[in-house]
Structure 1
Amino acid sequence: MLSLLSDLLWSKILIAVLLGLGLWFTLASRFIQFRYFGKMFSILTARHHDTDGHLSSFQALILSVAGRVGGGNIAGVAVAITLGGPGAIFWMWVVGLIGMATSFVECTLAQVYKTAEDDGTYRGGPAYYIEKGLGAQWKWLAVVYAILLFITFGIAFVALQSYAVANSLQDAFNIPLSYSGIGLAIVVGLIIFGGVKRIAKVAEILVPVMAGGYLIIALVVLAMNISAIPDTLMMIVNSAFGIGPAVGGGVGAAILMGVKRGLFSNEAGLGSAPNVAAVAYVPHPASQGVVQAFSVFIDTILLCTCTALIILLGTAYDPTTVSAADGIALTQASLATHIGETGRIFVSIALLLFSFSTVLYNYYLGENSLSYLTKGKNSKLLMNAFRILILVLCCLGAVLNLGTIFSFADLTMGLLALANLFGLALLFNKARSVINDYDKQIKAGTAQPVFDSAQFPELDLDKKAWPEANKNSH
């Protein structure tokens, strides 16, 4: 039943809604993800520091990359190619490029409707912008979203990532699953009890190392096979439209797997990244939209493409013999055909780091959901109980068969996306007014636009999070 519901949701409903809304956001915003593409890279050279104790925009980028970049970039791409053929990668690119606009909108809204906590930090995300942006009559949808986010990311995905870490370590170093689970729980515990700032500081070191290392090894593989790259890229495009030999499950399977694995990897439209985007201090909400669109680009266009080329340029991939279960094994075997058996160990270590960073990210999403649902009541006690639950999930996830949990998480993730996308459709005009303000300031030559909440009284914003910029009103 879970599988049937999930297939209906992903193969029919979500493809239409995701692509339809993404195209609408792209056209209505005048291709905002392309207009500000060059500006996205400026975040890499900007000054990276906390502002008044808040997370910087760069730290929010790193934390969201930590969540987006995970097993989907290694195992998920392999599954997409196995079931959908090379053409699935083309549709992953399409979902990524369109998803950049969706992420721009949802993360801008997360900043607009963020709230200031008593300790000076910010919280926000879909539950917050649905309730505050749409009004009290839609609070039920915000609550449903928060519950789904807690179940999917705070519980199910933590166990699944622990499973991935433990099996990766067993494959590469023959470490018993239970040892890996306990070790992961200890390290995660040391970090999550320090709050989001400690998570961000760990991610700020870990993410550039793991993503950079993976890019470097991919570039080595590309350099070794440079003459074959044009033909491989052409094969991806041709396969996406059914041109050439029939591989995978045909065009339909290519589209289905590309959309499903693309969303699973970059999370644009799911509403997960806005929970992190809201935490940062930025002078204008759209600034965070620019940053988070770049996060989708890093995940899908850069890292997923790296994995795809490693597989397609290697000799391990055979569309007539590869089974759907191969996943991570296919990526490992493919890299081994390029650089020898050390490739298997490298992929295992990469998956370990990707999955570990994702556990931290998933924990924060669960924490944010819990904070919204409890409205601060008994928050310290509940947060500590949740942290202990995370440690238990790290231990159990490593040793249990998680097939049912994965099917359940697939379904709840789809419902999560629907709830968020519905809210985004209703709130788009409000997001567009904020984006237009950003566009206007950029056009006037302002290097760093500043948001003045006094100009948007209809939004009913939290004045502690967005004080009126009186100096800009004169």
Structure 2
Amino acid sequence: MFNLIDLVGSISDWMWGPPMLMFIVGGGIFLTIRLGFFQIIYYPYILKQTFGTIFKKSKGEGTVSPFQAATTALASTIGASNIVGVPIAIAFGGPGAVFWMWVISLIGCATKFSEIVLGVKYRVRNEDGQYVGGPMYYLSAGFPDKTIGETLGVVYAFFTMLILAASVAAQSVSATQTVGVMGVSSLTTGILLTILVAIIVYGGITRIASVTSKLVPLMAGVYIAGSLIVVLCNITAIPGVFTLIFQSAFSPSATAGGLTGFGAASAMRWGIARGTYSCEAGMGTAPVAHSAAATDHPVRQGFWGIFEITVSSLIICTMSALVVLTTGIWNQVEAASAASMPTLAFQSVLGNTFGGLLVSFSMLMFVISTIIVQVFYGEKQCEFFFGTKIAKILKVFYILAILAGALGGLQAVFGFLDVVMGITIIPNMLGLIFMSGQVAALKKEFFSGSKYYLKDKRRSRSSL
């Protein structure tokens, strides 16, 4: 058994080294060029159409509002790794990793945008009259070769269905460990978490969206506010930190003691990996949530994918980086203990008790929100194969995975997560590349003098 686990670990390390990162990054670069660098050219407009319309009434048909769909997807995207993953990247790649995280996040905008656009274009109504979609639908219906597309759709849905159960269990482990430091038993945490998630997810996408639209702004706001306090208390270090980030991205750097050196290649490798994981571009889960949104055009909903990356990668991950860099904690903790950096950084300013509680609260909220949405995603994969009625029954297994994870019953399968995730990304990225012409056509339709873009511009001028 241990030999099998070691073998899987070796396969995972190889897969998520240069091969997978080149596949995801290369695909993102291709889509960025294919779409004319639109995420950079139209970035101010996109922010206005997302951040600026949060409280406005949505247009078009759909089950939930565009903002609710975005917060549902964000609930899964923002996780504990947004807090501890960035310090780990800095520990092994140096401060320059932050720069490459920003770069890959901008490239990932084209990938996530394409996923959502195709998700909305090929969404369908299920037996309950709700809109559903995702890679399994747009691969099956829109891939140039029908047979290949249907095969890719089935492969994606099948392996995603499996991986989400293990991922829910893994998230449950994080939750029990976070609460465990307060003296709460794993069994108690598992039972309470299972009941809470069951109540929410059995209310369907409407209840899930209602919960996440309140939970995501709260948990993100608390963490960002706490981070700003820490950074502002070390405001004199900010110019030097940004200089260090940019210099380390292209040239070797060292810790203050000169004991550990970081090369530019190492910064790029860890920064790209962190950016890829934090924005989840290419994984295909976001369009499952966005396909339920009320929108008047697929491109308009696609903007919310860029909104997600802005919040998750460019804001929250950046705050995590600034917290550990401005306090100097990154230079005081060994790489093996990098996950402890955020807590130590917060404690250095806010005190041991409050600083530790803030990080623990943020991590717990991030994990709970992720579990809620992953159970929903798992149900939608089941629905693709078996229909809505059976999917609602199979949802029980995802909920029970919460309890199994809390009790340590599925730890043996955690090592398979990265391998199976790689298998799901391949068909989705192939679909995005071969269907990129459809995304480009819809983007052109929206921006080239159509009623959508011109109407938005006229409305903007009239409000001045």
Could you tell me the TM-score, scaled by structure 2's length?
Answer: 0.90
2: CA distance, partners of 1:240 / 1:155: 37
**Pairing partner for 2:100 from 77, 80, 91:** 91
8 Å contact 1:44–1:58 — kept in the other structure?
no
Letter of the aligned partner of 1:410 in structure 2? D
1: CA distance, partners of 2:130 / 2:280: 24
**Pairing partner for 1:380 from 377, 381, 389:** 389
Query: What do the CA deviations read for 1:210-254 (whole angstroms, capped 9, x no partner)?
Result: 111111111112211112112112212222223332747633333
Corresponding residue SS for 1:287: helix
Corresponding residue SS for 1:392: helix
2: CA distance, partners of 1:442 / 1:243: 51
Give the CA deviation at 1:299: 0.6
Q: Which residue of 2 aligns with 1:310?
A: 323
8 Å contact 1:78–1:330 — kept in the other structure?
yes
**Pairing partner for 1:423 from 426, 431, 440:** 431
8 Å contact 1:82–1:248 — kept in the other structure?
no
8 Å contact 2:254–2:261 — kept in the other structure?
no
8 Å contact 1:83–1:248 — kept in the other structure?
no
* Structure 2 counterparts to residues 102-251 of structure 1, below 5 A: 102-134=111-143, 135-138=145-148, 139-152=150-163, 154-171=164-181, 173-245=182-254, 247=260, 250-251=263-264
* Structure 2 counterparts to residues 405-420 of structure 1, below 5 A: 405-420=413-428
Letter of the aligned partner of 2:394 in structure 1? A
2: CA distance, partners of 1:174 / 1:287: 47
2: CA distance, partners of 1:245 / 1:175: 41
Q: Which residue of 2 aligns with 1:456?
A: none
8 Å contact 1:210–1:354 — kept in the other structure?
yes
Letter of the aligned partner of 2:193 in structure 1? L
* Structure 2 counterparts to residues 394-409 of structure 1, below 5 A: 394-400=402-408, 404-409=412-417
Letter of the aligned partner of 2:172 in structure 1? S
Q: Which residue of 2 aligns with 1:466?
A: none
Moved more, 31-40 or 200-209: 31-40
8 Å contact 2:157–2:381 — kept in the other structure?
yes
Matched, 1:63 2:72: yes
2: CA distance, partners of 1:444 / 1:34: 16
Give the CA deviation at 1:208: 0.6
Give the CA deviation at 1:274: 1.2
Corresponding residue SS for 1:425: helix
2: CA distance, partners of 1:248 / 1:275: 42
Q: Which residue of 1 aligns with 2:290?
A: 277
Query: Judging changes above 3 Å, is the alpha-carbon distance between structure 1 residues 402 and 311 closer, same or farther for their aligned structure 2 residues?
Result: farther
1: CA distance, partners of 2:262 / 2:9: 18
* Structure 2 counterparts to residues 246-395 of structure 1, below 5 A: 247=260, 250-318=263-331, 321-327=333-339, 329-341=340-352, 342-374=354-386, 376=387, 379-386=388-395, 388-395=396-403
Matched, 1:26 2:37: no
Q: Which residue of 2 aligns with 1:80?
A: 89
Give the CA deviation at 1:405: 3.1
Q: Which residue of 2 aligns with 1:459?
A: none
2: CA distance, partners of 1:42 / 1:96: 19
Q: Which residue of 2 aligns with 1:452?
A: none
Identity percentage over the alignment?
Answer: 31
Structure 2 unpaired stretches of 5+? 1-6, 459-464
Moved more, 363-372 or 6-15: 6-15
Give the CA deviation at 1:403: 5.6
8 Å contact 2:80–2:367 — kept in the other structure?
yes
8 Å contact 2:62–2:295 — kept in the other structure?
no
8 Å contact 1:165–1:355 — kept in the other structure?
yes
Matched, 1:36 2:42: yes
Query: Judging changes above 3 Å, is the alpha-carbon distance between structure 1 residues 190 and 444 closer, same or farther for their aligned structure 2 residues?
Result: closer
Q: Which residue of 1 aligns with 2:447?
A: 439
Give the CA deviation at 1:158: 0.5
8 Å contact 2:105–2:279 — kept in the other structure?
yes
Q: Which residue of 2 aligns with 1:16?
A: 22
Q: How many residue pairs align between the two structures?
A: 441
Letter of the aligned partner of 2:344 in structure 1? A
2: CA distance, partners of 1:349 / 1:80: 22
Query: Judging changes above 3 Å, is the alpha-carbon distance between structure 1 residues 88 and 401 closer, same or farther for their aligned structure 2 residues?
Result: farther
Corresponding residue SS for 1:418: helix
Corresponding residue SS for 1:446: helix
Query: Judging changes above 3 Å, is the alpha-carbon distance between structure 1 residues 367 and 249 closer, same or farther for their aligned structure 2 residues?
Result: farther
Query: Judging changes above 3 Å, is the alpha-carbon distance between structure 1 residues 448 and 403 closer, same or farther for their aligned structure 2 residues?
Result: farther
Could you tell me the TM-score, scaled by structure 1's length?
Answer: 0.88
8 Å contact 2:116–2:287 — kept in the other structure?
yes
2: CA distance, partners of 1:113 / 1:52: 14
8 Å contact 1:275–1:368 — kept in the other structure?
yes
Letter of the aligned partner of 1:282 in structure 2? T
Query: What do the CA deviations read for 1:321-363 (whole angstroms, capped 9, x no partner)?
Result: 5143542x22111211121111111000000101111011111
8 Å contact 2:253–2:262 — kept in the other structure?
no
